[in-house]
Structure 1
């Protein structure tokens, strides 16, 4: 896990540390930043928020991102990117410049690949007098959100979010009511070995993505529909494990071109698992047939043929008349020679 995190850290990079912050400042009270219930307004500066064991979510489709914060002296603070622990914010604060939001904060700047990302900031402190402090984010909102399917609730044409309340569950599941960022606050969680959940698709689809979580040592058997009724099965971790508080992360993705009546099933063999929702992508709707054009087109063709025929015969008749007149003009008419010639 450490090697994976370090590799991700190096590949994406803190390329912007020390650079000038770019983009729009989203203050701590911005509605696009989601908080759990542990956060309160700072008594020192009302524009800041404090927490002892808090989480922040921000769904982002840009590149450069700046976090304004102060980590606890006796505790930890991390940033998770797309379900994987990405940055130790407490360690980064030791070299980060002073924040423009408040002199007591640090401004850690880093660069992301353009795409739809789930930013999760979480930390804990051992004392209320030493809280996590958050002052907002600088974001490049002009980059726009990527159309690619990734983490967080996706957006786009012909994508349907099917909440987990529509799934079929075995016994052993419970509602994770304390999960503050789950879709419709209906996250279902289980620690029961052999517990399963399934969903049957009601109409043809192109692809589906399942969102939820599973623990680091969890083993999940997944049975997917595959090409018109066949199934494919896999046992093991579906994706990189994430911490139990993280939701709206991809745990499986399947491009199936499925038909109505096919199902997906997950069975927990070991550890923990939670299910949040399924995002289903459908084909673009076909354009309605232009019946008027289909009717008009043959009429136009027939009309053009008739018109061409009329023109052809008119031109031919005109030429024949012109030729006859020319012949008559070059010959002496018989009746001008007198009727006596025949005698």
Structure 2
């Protein structure tokens, strides 16, 4: 009997020790599954179906050629009632301000060209596909079909982190004022629309006038226009207005004042090696993004600055010689300047 009791006691001590060791051992936490977080999205292509689970917000990464209103379509199987209930999108990186669908159009959202991060939620297990809801003319897509602005007539545009384009045919040779009412940091540019020998049109921002929307919510540029010439007005936003809708208007200048917002004091670009440029700005300490545009309005390179840094190196290897716009987008504001790459 005594031996039995000792055996039982020893067994209890062994189990107790095992339990203590098990409780004290480090527990491995499984990494977030692909698609569960913005930093680990599922790479997809436009026009192809991909699976998604019910009521599980899932992140996808997709490169879009054109800016526009995009739809997330679900595959409707027989007997299935699954629908897309919400779509969110961030342009470029996870720290960007996001656009979000609404109750009337839960499956549609505005997105910029380039890399975009979509977060999609559906009411049931289904297959979804990303596609442009309707063609939107832009510098990248049939610029000759862009919406025509009329003199002295304001036009509103989506309150979203987005790219907007218009064209204006100057009725006479004069100085015109272009006013953009938009969120602070929005970049307004006025270039020309050119036609080549093959009857193809392209935006030309080589000698563009440019302004940044300031704290007062307005950006203005004065442009000497020639009668009959077609001009391109572009507005790229990086935030959303708290109230109201953004708008753009063009009118003949009657003041003779020339006041264009300059942002060179907020950043500096210097060449450090062949096709390498050092971008310095206090905005980089905010974890800002650096974007490089060619003069047709296309993003040719972009990087994310390390937090607390005040400079970053941008590599333009393989980029042809020409004029480019460097844009730094911080949390508080943005800054831009033009650089000639030789």
TM bucket (normalised to shorter chain) is under 0.3
Higher strand share: 2
Which is greater in Rg?
1
Report the TM-score, using the length of structure 2 for normalisation: 0.26
